[in-house]
Structure 1
Amino acid sequence: MSNDAPASAAEDRYAEVQNSAEFEELRTKFRKFVFPMTIAFLAWYFLYVLLSVFAKDFMGTRVVGDITWGLILGLGQFVSTFAITMYYARWADREFDPRAEALAQKMGGHHR
């Protein structure tokens, strides 16, 4: 039974953190950032795919030399991925991580 006690205490602690108002606020803040970003990125990605399938003439239109709209929009996928990643990293450093760290310390958890 002594092996069950530490596991039970850890489970109780986990449930306490998960049910706390601070954790709920942190989860809500995370979701309000991540879900809209994910939807926006997926919409942009699927627009590119749909244009590639259904608007081949447009995607093949040359803009400058051999550079087409398809190439520009395709490279835009990479640029937008890096931009979103950098935006998330800054947001997390500024808004999310300090609150998560404060919650971990308050709940007696380990910090980085």
Structure 2
Amino acid sequence: MPASAERYLEVQNSEEFAQLRHRLRSFIFPTTVAFIVWYALYVLLSAYARDFMAIKLVGNINVALVFGVLQFVSTFLIAWYYARYAAQKLDPLADKILHDIDEKPAAAATAAEGSQD
């Protein structure tokens, strides 16, 4: 039996759901800000610190190229870290909430049928 709209509102107002939102936001907001600052630094250095970005490190590899590659590396690291974080901190709580949604309406329906007999 599918959960009712009232049950979803009850879950939305539950402590577990608030904790899930808090955990998600505590990861996403700081990570997003850090990445935007990192990207803005790269763009600003490319635009205004051309001499610094043109410094050759090895052969034709300069600071700008290294920073550019690090943009890709940081993107993949954030994605990997989020997957790990979600598997450890978010998914178990989300699974518990889903289990509660599926189980409680069935239990309530069974109790209501039992009281009619």
- Unpaired runs of 5+ residues, structure 1, are 1-5
Match of 1:19 in 2: 13
Runs of 4+ aligned residues of structure 1 deviating over 6 Å after TM superposition are none
Bigger Cα displacement from structure 2, 31-40 vs 10-19: 10-19
In structure 1, distance between residues paired with 2:89 and 2:53: 39
Give the conservation status (yes or no) of the 8 Å contact 2:54–2:62: yes
> What is the percentage of aligned positions where both structures have the same residue?
51
The answer to whether structure 1 residue 46 and structure 2 residue 40 are counterparts is: yes
Shift, 1:13, TM fit = 2.4
Higher RCO (CA 8 Å, separation ≥ 6 residues):
2
| Bigger fraction of residues in helix | 2
Match of 1:63 in 2: 57
CA deviations on 1:72-102 (whole Å, 9 max, x unpaired) are 0000000000001000101111111011001
**Count of residue pairs brought into register by the alignment:** 102
AA of the residue aligned to 2:41: L
- Unpaired runs of 5+ residues, structure 2, are 104-117
Q: Report the TM-score when normalising by structure 1.
A: 0.85
